[in-house]
Amino acid sequence: MRYLNYLEFGLVRESLRERRILEDIAPNLVYPLPFLIPNYGNLKSNKWIIKAGMLLYDLLSFDKGKTRHESKKLPHHQSLNKSQVLDIAPMLPAEGLTGGAVYYDCQSVAPERLTLAFVRSAAAYGAEVSNYSEVVQLEQEEGRFRTAIIKDSLNHREVRVRAQLFVNSGGPWAERIIKKLSGQETAHSVRMSEGIHLIGPQITRDHALVMLTPGGRHFFAIPWRGHSLYGTTDKDYHGSPDDYRVSKESIDEFIQEINSSFGKTILDYSNIVHAYGGLRPLTDTHTESTYKSSRKYEIIDGDDEGLPGLLTVEGGKYTTSRNLAQTTIKAIGKKLGKTLSRSRTGDASLVGCDIPGLTDFLSSRKEVYPDFEGNTLHTLATAYGTEMDKVIGIAKENPDWGVPLNADGEILAQVVFAVRQEMAVHLLDVLQRRTGLGTLGLPDDETLRKIGRTMAQELGWSAEQEAREIEIAKTTLSLPFREGAGS
């Protein structure tokens, strides 16, 4: 919605089209969610500005009903009076509230699983996928990059890969990759923006809230796994991406913004269960703030940069990443003078996602696996789709592997599956990038020990390596403020 304020109609339309595609190709991982915008102020114009924005949003999402699954069809926006708004979100300040509006968007409850589904789908179609591999050098031949030297950071072996063209899609690291590989500075500068999220007590059940900070920036409070997920922030980051970690300063700033927006204490150190963040590479470097910077992407031809044989992709946003990849492939085909077949990424279901719809699929799985708890089956159906059968097959190998570890019903069989099928080699891979076991914060010591022991058995870790992995996880997932301290 906020991109409409900056008249980025093309970006909005692209995002809405890609949203529908994601609903189709990953129905278990992407699903509708209503967003409530409360309206404050005495000016009637506020109401009509919101109304106009809603109408334009509905207009640009004209194809939202063309989904494969009936449950994925998004309704048009709705206008609400003050009483209806407070019924949904009673914690909102009542003073000055005149009503609100609800529009519909989508949520991915496990974006790390969605990303992994894309990677594994590419592998299923013939892509060679390598984890923990670093391109340490590009070698030229007849004036063009033709060979990449790739180092396996686990066994330190190097391999040489020849190609007609290379793509640098390093995100916040893209410029540094160019400099490292070529010794040259790129003429295209990228602005890095930090965005953090905080997880705290759930304040709404079914609706996300769209809130406005005193400084005029929007953020969301989204119901997520029995909590509320607050995000995101948007401010310049000037350090190295290698050094990035969510800071106490960033958390304090966001807590203050959240509480000021609600007019009361919603979050403090005592009720925040987790904080995480990341960096956005923005190609728009001329705006006064990163919040106003465009999320458009660029594909830069190395021939124009003195880097022949290299394409660099910069910018973009998660929702439009599939289309960015497709556009990049088209650029490669054009560059190499090759006629490419029609892309299937807009209609081919991702690995594990070929299901009739989550509700029907989950019902069928409950009949097949009556001995497993409902929360476990729901989590597995959402995260793995049809591949949940493989996870449950692993759970039957060991009675301990099917016992729920948390409120979501996650089980140790997921840890084993991550190691055997999803290239997980470190404890943090499992906690943050394969399961939800660490995305609600650091698990308790007993749970962490069980996960570490299971990985150690699968990967043949020594006791020392197991202890080291656990210590790294504790350090990484610990909040950067002392427990019990005031905010």
Strands in 55-190 per DSSP E: 78-80, 97-108, 133-141, 144-152, 158-162, 166-168
Whether 168 shows a pLDDT value over 70: the answer reads yes
Q: Domain containing 120: what range?
A: 113-190+295-336
Query: Which tokens go with 387?
Result: 């591949």
User: 378 lies in a domain?
Assistant: yes
Answer yes or no: do 186 and 299 share one domain.
yes
Tens digit of each residue's pLDDT (9 = 90 or more) over 421-466: 999 999 999 999 999 999 999 999 999 999 999 999 999 999 999 9
Answer yes or no: do 430 and 464 share one domain.
yes
Answer yes or no: do 309 and 458 share one domain.
no
For the chain, the first-to-last Cα distance in angstroms comes to 32
Query: Which tokens go with 29?
Result: 């991982």
Q: What average pLDDT does the segment 118-140 reach?
A: 95
Burial class of residue 70 in the structure, from the number of CB atoms within 10 Å of its CB (0-12 exposed, 13-18 middle, 19+ buried):
exposed
Whether 293 shows a pLDDT value over 70: the answer reads no
pLDDT at residue 315 in the model = 85
Answer yes or no: do 315 and 378 share one domain.
no
Q: What's the CA gap between 340 and 332, in Å, rounded?
A: 10
Answer yes or no: do 178 and 310 share one domain.
yes
Contact in structure between 29 and 105 (CB atoms under 8 Å): no
pLDDT at residue 190 in the model = 80
Whether 3 shows a pLDDT value over 60: the answer reads no
Give the residue among 383, 484, 395 at the shortest CA–CA distance from 437.
Answer: 383
User: 15 lies in a domain?
Assistant: no
CATH of the domain at 123: 3.50.50.60
pLDDT at residue 477 in the model = 96
Tens digit of each residue's pLDDT (9 = 90 or more) over 71-94: 888 888 899 999 999 999 999 999
User: 147 lies in a domain?
Assistant: yes
Whether 294 shows a pLDDT value over 60: the answer reads no
Answer yes or no: do 104 and 125 share one domain.
no
Tens digit of each residue's pLDDT (9 = 90 or more) over 343-375: 999 999 999 999 988 999 999 999 999 999 999
φ/ψ of residue 306, rounded to 5: 75, 20
Answer yes or no: do 169 and 306 share one domain.
yes
Q: Mean pLDDT check: name the lowest of 248-262, 295-309, 313-327, 400-414.
A: 295-309
Domain final position from 74, 109, 144: 109
State the total domains in the chain: 3
Tens digit of each residue's pLDDT (9 = 90 or more) over 256-283: 999 999 999 999 999 999 999 999 988 7
* Strands 30-40 vs 97-108: parallel, antiparallel or unpaired: antiparallel
Contact in structure between 85 and 207 (CB atoms under 8 Å): no
User: 168 lies in a domain?
Assistant: yes
Supply the mean pLDDT for the chain.
Answer: 90
Answer yes or no: do 466 and 401 share one domain.
yes
pTM: predicted TM-score of the whole model, two decimal places:
0.91
Whether 304 shows a pLDDT value over 90: the answer reads no
Q: From the CA atom positions of the chain, what is the Rg in Å?
A: 23
User: 448 lies in a domain?
Assistant: yes
